[in-house]
Chain A
Amino acid sequence: MTLLQVLAILLSAPLVQGVLASMRARLSGRPGPSLLQPYRDLAKLLRKEPRAGRAGSSIGFVAVGIALGTAVTILMVLPHIIGDSVRTTALDVVALVLFFALGRAAMVIAALDTDSSFSAMAVGREIAFAAIVEAPFLLALLAARSTPSSALLAGSALFIVLLFESARVPVDNQETHYELTMIHEGMLLEYAGPVFAAWQYGAQLRQVAMLVLVAFVLAGSGLPMALCFVAAVVAIPFVEAFQAKMRLFDVPQLATAATLLAVAALGIDIIGGVR
């Protein structure tokens, strides 16, 4: 079962990215790329000549390996979309959070290895935001067990964490290439060819993993998890199309909001004493 789901995600992660990009374009009145565009992008990058971010450095290769490996590990500890429920499945939330952190650390070190100041600028933002969303991430995963209301609160908290983790609009913008504002794209600015494809693919895998987690938590409200997954996927382009990117130093308030939501959910659980 786990293996089947891991395989399915490995195959469909670029498709999810394509769906998100296409929906966002439609919502903002553009025809948008094909759903399969991410596959074509990856194929094109893989055909290119491998180039290092920096001559003679193996840090970039090791880091991309760690990032891909972590993404696969995360897929292996994810809950199953079909068959698992928040009430019965014991999820290893600590391992999830720390493996996500390892993937991020690898990307940050790889970005700093390229000597590019634009990448380093993005790294500064990434490490600051990563440090403040770790707490809502774990607390939201933890809070989702008992009542429908706490599941909804925790689900919204986790959705905000997803916006951070997958570089989505109020936090970051995947469609811009303006060096002074971007985070995720900025860190990978100097990478090209197969290595860049690996970075992008790893990010797509982590994005699906986050979506599964959001669905898992939301499903505590009684809805089927597959439906929650679709809802989470649809919610992202709506947020992206109708919400402007936040000013950089307003973004921490979003993390605070996520923390408050997660704490509220946990508080409902504790006071309710449902367990």
Chain B
Amino acid sequence: MRGIRLLATCLLGAVAAAAVAFAALPFAPLVFHAPIFARYLTLDFVATPLARPFLALLAIGVIVVAIWNVKRGKAAAGIPLACFSAAMIGVLLAQSVLAFLLSWELMSLISIAIVATESERKSVRRATFAYALISQLGALAITIAFAMLAVHAGGGSFAAIAAGAASLAPATRAGVLAGLFIGFGSKAGLVPLQFWLPRAHPAAPANASALLSGVMIEIALYALALGTFVLVAPVGVIAGVVVLLAGLAGALFGGLYAAVESELKRLLAFSSIEHMGVMVAALGLAIAASALGFPALATLAFLAMLFHALNHTVLKTLLFLAAGTVVERMHHVTDLDRLRGLGSGALKRSAPWILVGCLAAAALPPSNAFVSEWLLFHAFIDATLSGNSWLASLGAIALFALLLGGGLAAAAFVKLFGIAFAGTPTPARERETPEAIDAATIALVTAAILVLVLGLFPLLVLHPLLALASGIVGAPAGNLGATLESAARLAWLAAIPVLVALGAWWYGRRTMQRSDPVWACGSALPARASYSATALTKPLRRIFAFALFPERRRSIESATSVDFPAQIAYAVKTRDLTSEAARSVAAFSQRFVRRLRVVQSGRMRAYIAYAAIAIALALVLGR
């Protein structure tokens, strides 16, 4: 068993090392170039500038997961994860249609298998099915789009496709873009193709969820950026607006559902949808701005997207691995309504670092996501001040949606930490052995320190990313350096609260603390009476009832009299806006089809009449 765990760790380490090598090498190494059959079927793997930051974030995610895996998770789980990560590296390096499609499909298939790990549970089987369905449909859309591109370019390499893209007919271009958007967007979890994500990502074991939510959706973002900025190079304003609006829908949807979700891993998955929405909105702004002739703005938006992708990997890996630790320490209880006081109980050592992750997920200072969202908001503010009325209106709409979505996401993570980690632990769980500092904790600490380092010293990565972004967008970096400087100054302002908090903590340790029982109207407060996550979000459910369809079921079993119930069962359910829409479409189409059934009378005469009418029509029309 120990040997398998060692092997898995070594494999993950090797994959991470490979990713680091590809990301860090100063030249673009030709990894592999094999013309297989004809000019359409070549296998090219090259590390391009656009792929480098994504290779780096992949390496970070894999390293953190590998450390965690030394202590927790199933021993053999690391082996499929290493294969999965290798497939993702393949996607990043692919420079021809065949190479890309093979790697993409390999990545999808391995991830489907990983999601199905705990297939003895019915919910996992259903999630796997939904994921398999959407990922194969997405692959189909990508394949068609790539086939159209390759046929037009007369070759399968990305260089040929990019060269031929300028001469695409408008209709073909729109079709190709739609195919790429559906294919990559479904993998990224864009609304309305996101329905599988909050089921599939939490269904996998935590270390796999970390890679799915922390790395794979970033790969989908890479693919979207590749499609719009490299392959089909000038994609136009309308495509940019569509991408932007899809991103905003994702940010709102993810934020709202994360805020009211009470299951730990599902909450994290909804937060991934929110963060992905933010990044895709930035991509959309970059496309629109570069099409409208605002290259500096496009560069800033693209830079913010790249930095946020990196930050999201770090913070989501941290949080999903933390969820994995919760799963193991709390015997598979991940319901926030039943978790309380982990910070002074079962996860005493990890809690401060998880708090860092929660702050980052809420984009609050002094975290890395604070800096990237700051850059992103500045891009949208620049858009509203640009003087172009289209861009200005889009910027204003985007600011509204991102702030509402971000505010809701902040509520989600404040709830997560405040309910599950703060407060007094429930006594039944206190028999546990105290948490030791082991490899799993070290993994969380590593990720949390990365969050803080990127948050306090953002220029370390912002300067190289800026050079890269301006290269891809095709605009000089110009005076964006000044924006970066003020971002760095801002990061230092964020250090003030941290220092004051450390002082207050020291004061708290030094002074003798006395505490009194909590006021509960004169009676002692039993642990079961503590406020639940569901109760905490009741106002939100009520305010956003139009999108959440809250439902409340209460059943009272009375033994002797109604006034002395033996048992009260209480359940609250919210439903998903997109699945509601899907359900109503399905209901409508069923009603429609039922009406149509009138023509299927089953009488022979009717069918003969239909055939006669059809022949007559064919004769008349075909003349």
Q: Which positions in A face B, CB cutoff 8 Å?
A: 49-70, 72-73, 76-77, 92-95, 97-99, 101-102, 105, 108-118, 120-121, 123-125, 127-135, 137-139, 142, 189-190, 198, 248-249, 252, 259, 263, 266-267, 270-271, 273, 275
* CA gap between A175 and B577 in the complex, in Å: 40
6 closest Cβ pairs, A-B complex: A65-B504, A61-B508, A69-B497, A69-B500, A120-B531, A112-B418
Q: CB distance A108 to B519 under 8 Å? A: no
- What are 26 A-B interface contacts by the 8 Å CB criterion? A60-B508, A62-B504, A70-B496, A72-B500, A94-B373, A95-B374, A102-B365, A109-B418, A110-B422, A112-B422, A112-B531, A115-B423, A115-B525, A116-B518, A118-B519, A123-B531, A124-B538, A128-B543, A131-B410, A134-B404, A135-B404, A139-B396, A142-B381, A249-B539, A267-B396, A270-B396
Answer yes or no: B264 CB below 8 A from chain A CBs. Answer: no
- A189 and B504 contacting across the interface, CB-CB below 8 Å: no
Minimum Cβ distance to chain A for residue B7 (Å): 41
Q: Which residues of B are found within 8 Å of A266, using beta-carbon distances?
A: 384, 396
Do A64 and B504 touch (CB < 8 A)? yes
Whether A55 lies near B407 (C-beta < 8 A) is: no
CA distance A63 to B504 in the complex (A): 8
Are the C-beta atoms of A134 and B407 separated by less than 8 Å? Answer: yes
Task: Tell whether, in the assembled complex, residue B381 and residue A131 are in contact, meaning their CB atoms are under 8 Å apart.
Answer: no
Contact between B384 and A128, CB atoms less than 8 A apart: no
CB–CB B343/A59 < 8 A: yes
Contact flag A51-B516 (CB < 8 Å), given A72-B496, A135-B399, A270-B396 = yes
- A125–B373 alpha-carbon span in the complex (Å): 26
Neighbouring A residues of B343 by C-beta, 8 Å: 59
A131 adjacent to B540 (CB under 8 Å): yes
**Known contacts A54-B518, A113-B422, A128-B537; 12 further A-B pairs (Cβ under 8 A):** A54-B515, A76-B496, A102-B497, A108-B414, A109-B422, A124-B535, A124-B536, A124-B537, A127-B536, A131-B259, A131-B410, A139-B399
Given contacts A124-B536, A130-B407, contact A68 B500 (CB under 8 A): yes
Minimum CB–CB distance from B470 to chain A (whole Å) comes to: 22
Tell me the B residues contacting A by CB distance below 8 Å: 259, 343-344, 359, 362-365, 370, 373-374, 377-378, 381, 384-385, 387, 389, 392-393, 396, 399-400, 403-404, 406-408, 410-411, 414-415, 417-419, 422-424, 486, 490, 493-494, 496-505, 507-509, 511-516, 518-520, 525, 529-531, 535-540, 542-543
B320 to chain A, nearest CB (A): 21
Cross-interface CB contact of B418 among A95, A97, A123, A249, cutoff 8 Å: A123
- Residues in B whose Cβ lies below 8 Å from that of A249: 539, 542-543
Question: Which residue in B387, B494, B497, B509 is a CB contact (below 8 Å) of A58?
Answer: B509
| Contact present for B490 and A95 (CB under 8 Å) | yes
- A residues less than 8 Å from B389 (CB atoms): 270-271, 273
The answer to whether A65 and B381 have CB atoms under 8 Å apart is no
If the complex has contacts A134-B403, A252-B543, are A62 and B486 also in contact, measured as CB distance less than 8 A? Answer: no
CB-based contact A65/B535 at 8 Å: no
Partner of A131, one of B407, B494, B509, B536: B407
Across-interface contacts of A113 in B (CB, < 8 A): 418, 422-423
**A contact residues around B424 at 8 Å (CB):** 54, 115
With CB as the reference atom, state the residue of chain B lying closest to A94: B377
Taking a contact as CB atoms under 8 Å apart, the answer to whether B493 and A59 are in contact is no
CA distance A169 to B621 in the complex (A): 75
Q: How far is the CB of B586 from chain A (nearest CB, A)?
A: 32
User: In the complex, are the beta carbons of A131 and B408 less than 8 A apart?
Assistant: yes
Is B497's CB under 8 angstroms from A70's CB?
Answer: yes
Q: Do residues B519 and A189 form an inter-chain contact, with CB atoms below 8 A?
A: yes
In the bound complex, what is the Cα–Cα distance between A196 and B373 (angstroms)? 32
Cβ-neighbour of A123 out of B364, B404, B536 (below 8 A): B536
Given A72-B496, A115-B518, A127-B536, A135:B407 Cβ within 8 A: yes
Complex CA distance for A139 and B537, rounded to whole angstroms: 26
Instruction: Chain B residues near A142: list those with CB within 8 A.
Output: 381, 384, 399
CB within 8 Å for A127 and B515 given contacts A62-B504, A248-B539, A270-B396: no
A30 to chain B, nearest CB (A): 28
Closest chain A CB from B533 CB (angstroms): 10
Asked if A117 meets B531 with Cβ closer than 8 Å, knowing A61-B504, A266-B384, the reply is yes
Question: Given the complex of chains A and B, what is the CA–CA distance between A137 and B406 in angstroms?
Answer: 13
Is there contact, CB below 8 Å, between B370 and A98? yes
Taking a contact as CB atoms closer than 8 A, the residue among B399, B406, B417, B502 that contacts A109 in the complex is B417
**For residue A66, which residues in chain B have a CB less than 8 angstroms away from its CB?**
497-498, 500-501
How many whole Å from B369's CB to the nearest CB in chain A? 10
Q: Are B400 and A98 in contact (CB under 8 A)?
A: no
For B417, what are the chain A residues with a Cβ–Cβ distance below 8 Å?
109
Neighbouring B residues of A72 by C-beta, 8 Å: 496, 500
List B contacts of A131 (CB < 8 A): 259, 404, 407-408, 410-411, 540
Least Cβ distance of B280 to chain A in Å?
Answer: 19
Contact of A92 with B486 in the complex, beta carbons under 8 Å = yes
Which residue of A is nearest B401, CB measured?
A: A135
CB distance from B259 to the nearest CB of A (A): 7
Chain B residue numbers with a CB within 8 Å of A138 are 377, 399, 403
| CB <8 Å contact, B411 and A52 | no
Most buried by B among A51, A76, A133: A51
In the complex formed, the residue of B with least CB distance to A270 is B392
Asked whether B364 lies within 8 Å of A101 as measured between CB atoms, the reply is: yes
Query: CB-CB < 8 A to B486: which residues of A?
Result: 92
Contact (A132, B407) CB under 8 Å given A58-B505, A65-B505, A98-B370: yes
Q: Which chain B residues lie closer than 8 Å to A63 at the CB level?
A: 501
Q: Point out which of A98, A111, A120 has the most chain B C-beta atoms below 10 A from its C-beta.
A: A98
